[in-house]
Structure 1
Amino acid sequence: MQATSIHTSQGPAVQYLLRIGDTCLILGQRLSEWCGHGPVLEEDIALANMALDLVGQARALLTRAGQIEGRGHDEDQLAFLRDERDYVNVTLVELPRGDFAFTMVRNTMVATLLKLLWERLASSSDTELAAIAGKALKEARYHQQHCADWVVRLGDGTAESRRRTEAALASLWRYTPELFASDAVEDAAHAAGLGPRWADLQGAWTDEMAQVLAAASLATPRESAFRSTGKQGVHSEHMGFILAEMQHLQRSFPGGVW
């Protein structure tokens, strides 16, 4: 018998935390797919460790979201027992793993966003969230530096590595407008001092990404008119496959623990 799905509160504080937690969780899942497939052993281990960092951040955020919600949902229930439309991660993180250049470009983009978020969340009016941010910020800084270094090496490397990096950048950049699309959830979080509107981070994010791309001798793509909607719970065709793999054990053995 499969476990029954849960549905979460639509309250802005809960949804705000879920957006960040789900983004970390799904990217961690994608990065875990590199385990045993890295181009070199050292990078295989680095990617696995970054995946663990992201899952750890997701655990903390989902736990706090459950506490604020007050319905008794713990981190495992929130991670594994929601339906697809109840996940509110950005679409960028659910795209298929891709090649190494794709992974490094995406990681740089997301790590830069998360670093800027954690910097602001460290002064959140929610002391629990501020404490989570203090630890996560150190991890995000490492992720950003590590992956940005690879983007520079690949973009300014061989003809083949440059071709792959340019292709990854062109493919991923069209999903960036969603990162900075504000709505009532983020406006409420900002007003309460819980955390910033993601739109308020756009200028700093654009500047930091431009520096990385310039060092890699890559041009910043133009903004696309396309708007993805993962933060609203409307996902790409890839999300269902991720959840089917993530949720299999918990759905098949409800309440199972190690």
Structure 2
Amino acid sequence: MSADAESRWPEVARDYVQAIADTKLLLGQRYGEWMLKGPNLEDDISGASNGQDEIGQVRQLFRLLEKQGVDRDWLETDREPAEYANAQPLDEEAEAWPTFMVQVALSDRAAWLLLDAIRHEDFTGMVQKMGEDEYFHLEHHDARLETLAVDQPEAVEAALERYFPGILAFIGPATHGAGADPLVEAGFTDRAVAEIRGAFREHYVDLFAGTDVAVPALTDDVPDPDEWDEKRRRSGDGHIDQRVADQLQGVTNREYVIE
């Protein structure tokens, strides 16, 4: 399916939306992995609900991408691991609860900030509805991180240091500032990446104020703009495991599909 010339987004906008969609797809995967491993039943239920919301949002974003000429079969069932454009922290399954909470909190908030910046008519109403879901996701993350910052500050700070460079790459380079952000110039978004980076970090500085957790600084060379992959919104060639790609594509369940 192809979009006509008048309704077609710029290529950079298609890549931007696919990165948001793929991040939400991997969030659903990571929530599923931790659905029965949280410290209490409330966290398990919350994670299951969050994962369901994310997958519902992925379906809506994939429909928009299909209208823009992106092949639906490729999006859903025919990609190599390196073709997923998810936020880098979601490449791996977290090994401990504090690590998991930082991983999904950073990724979910960054994806929401990028989505909320879109001002294209194709997203009218959709972003507002998704924001209603995201409000509860982000509130839950913040509440858990506040508790963990008191109980396990070293684990939280280590996870922030581990994942912050990758999440800044997902948001985008500092060089995409006012007057230099291609999506703002195209009229697709209303906030430059540099502004989103600042708001993102400031949220966590405020959240962890009064605790022993330090938030990594914003540095203009993270990501290095010369090494940043705009399509996959990351530096380097890392990606999810083949096993995870197979799970996302339902490879092991295809034999049970009724034609």
TM-score interval, smaller chain? 0.7 to 0.9
Q: What residue identity is the alignment partner of 2:167?
A: T
- Whole-Å Cα distance in 2 between the matches of residues 97 and 46 of structure 1? 17
> CA, structure 1 residues 249+179, in 2 after alignment: closer, same or farther (shift >3 Å)?
closer
Q: How far 1:251 sits from its partner (Å)?
A: 8.7
Q: What residue identity is the alignment partner of 2:101?
A: M
- Whole-Å Cα distance in 2 between the matches of residues 38 and 32 of structure 1? 11
- Whole-Å Cα distance in 2 between the matches of residues 199 and 251 of structure 1? 43
In structure 2, the partner of 1:89 is: 86
Is the CA contact 1:86–1:233 (under 8 Å) kept in the aligned structure 2? no
Unmatched runs of 5 consecutive residues or more in structure 1: 1-8
Q: 1:99 aligns with which of 96, 101, 118?
A: 96
Equivalence map 1:1-258=2 (5 Å):
11-69=11-69, 73-74=71-72, 77-121=74-118, 124-125=119-120, 127-157=121-151, 161-182=152-173, 187-195=181-189, 196-222=191-217, 227=223, 230-231=232-233, 235-236=237-238, 238-249=240-251, 252=254, 256=257
Is the CA contact 1:113–1:205 (under 8 Å) kept in the aligned structure 2? yes
Q: How far 1:153 sits from its partner (Å)?
A: 0.5
- Whole-Å Cα distance in 2 between the matches of residues 257 and 130 of structure 1? 36
- Whole-Å Cα distance in 2 between the matches of residues 177 and 138 of structure 1? 24
Secondary structure at the residue paired with 1:98? Answer: coil
Q: What residue identity is the alignment partner of 2:63?
A: T
> CA, structure 1 residues 41+181, in 2 after alignment: closer, same or farther (shift >3 Å)?
same
- Whole-Å Cα distance in 1 between the matches of residues 13 and 253 of structure 2? 27
> CA, structure 1 residues 141+152, in 2 after alignment: closer, same or farther (shift >3 Å)?
same
Instruction: For residues 106-147 of structure 1, give each alpha carbon's deviation from its aligned partner in whole angstroms, at most 9, with x where no partner exists.
Output: 2222232233234322xx12x232322111112222211111
Instruction: For residues 193-241 of structure 1, give each alpha carbon's deviation from its aligned partner in whole angstroms, at most 9, with x where no partner exists.
Output: 2224433311111111111121543111245766475425954254433
**Identical-residue share of aligned pairs (%):** 21
Q: How far 1:58 sits from its partner (Å)?
A: 1.4
Is the CA contact 1:156–1:216 (under 8 Å) kept in the aligned structure 2? yes
- Whole-Å Cα distance in 2 between the matches of residues 233 and 175 of structure 1? 8
Secondary structure at the residue paired with 2:124? Answer: helix
Q: Which moved more, 1:39-48 or 1:197-206?
A: 197-206
| TM-score under structure 1 length normalisation | 0.79
Q: What residue identity is the alignment partner of 2:128?
A: G
Q: What residue identity is the alignment partner of 1:164?
A: A
Across the aligned residues of Structure 1 and Structure 2, the Cα RMSD in angstroms comes to 3.1
- Whole-Å Cα distance in 2 between the matches of residues 251 and 234 of structure 1? 32
Q: Per residue, is there more helix in 1 or in 2? A: 1
Secondary structure at the residue paired with 1:163? Answer: helix
| TM-score under structure 2 length normalisation | 0.78
- Whole-Å Cα distance in 1 between the matches of residues 141 and 241 of structure 2? 24
- Whole-Å Cα distance in 1 between the matches of residues 236 and 242 of structure 2? 11
> CA, structure 1 residues 173+188, in 2 after alignment: closer, same or farther (shift >3 Å)?
closer
Q: What is the number of equivalent residue pairs in this alignment? A: 239
Unmatched runs of 5 consecutive residues or more in structure 2: 1-8
